[in-house]
Amino acid sequence: MDEIRFETDEAEAVRTITLARPEKRNALTREMFAALTEAFEREPLPTERVTVIRAEGPSFCAGVDLSQRDGNDAREGHTPLEVLCAAIWRYPLPVVAAVQGHAIGGGLMLLLHCDFVIAAEHAKMANSAVQRGMLPARDVIHRTRQVAGLPMARELLLIGDAIPASRLADAQVITAAVPAEQLGAEVDRVVDRLAANAPLSLRAIEATLSADEYVQTSAP
């Protein structure tokens, strides 16, 4: 589909998924959710080592396309965002997010389920549901607490203001925040290191890391 691009390198070791809806700040539609979820629920190629999630334009992801929130797209009680996040978390190989701009709402949730998040220093991240009189899903609250820790989760969810990537990196919520002009090089460095490792070892370690840590109030 035009709003998401899937590419692999020549060795088929690195898969890149690009959100390509910059005119809407890469807000996720039903079709985008379906394509992304399918991409992370499928079995990786035998040659694959790592998947990279990128985005076009000034924003990484503004979350769910609000014009589609009225649809009934839940799978066994879980929203499309929750199903996608669970698929990313359970993916058997590392997932790296390259964050060139703001990640808001569902965009932040995507990042909290990736193994490595490398962001430009100017990027900001937020979940502003509380400021709009909305209640985040229980899975969102639990996952934010898991990754960010209780004090930062309270700030993200109860205050809802955007937090700079540099501060989140200092708090070890994300992997790193670098100057914008260094983002591509830093992502490439991490991806190259992962791609050089043995695939069976990557799978075994991923399975162990994710086996007991994912909290979901009722699994899809």
- pLDDT confidence of residue 126: 96
Per residue in 10-39, pLDDT (tens digit) is 999 999 999 999 999 999 999 999 999 999
Per residue in 154-196, pLDDT (tens digit) is 999 999 999 999 999 999 999 999 999 999 999 999 999 999 9
Amino acid at 22: P
> pTM, whole model, 2 decimals?
0.92
Q: Where are the domains of the chain?
A: 4-182+193-211
Distance of CA 171 to the CA centre of its chain: 18
Domain range 4-182+193-211, its CATH number among 2.40.128.20, 3.90.226.10, 3.30.1540.10, 3.40.50.300: 3.90.226.10
Per residue in 66-106, pLDDT (tens digit) is 887 655 565 656 889 999 999 999 999 999 999 999 999 99
Q: Which helix (H) or strand (E) holds 124?
A: strand 124-126
Query: In whole angstroms, how far apart are CA 79 and each of 34, 74, 75, 101?
Result: 12, 4, 6, 25
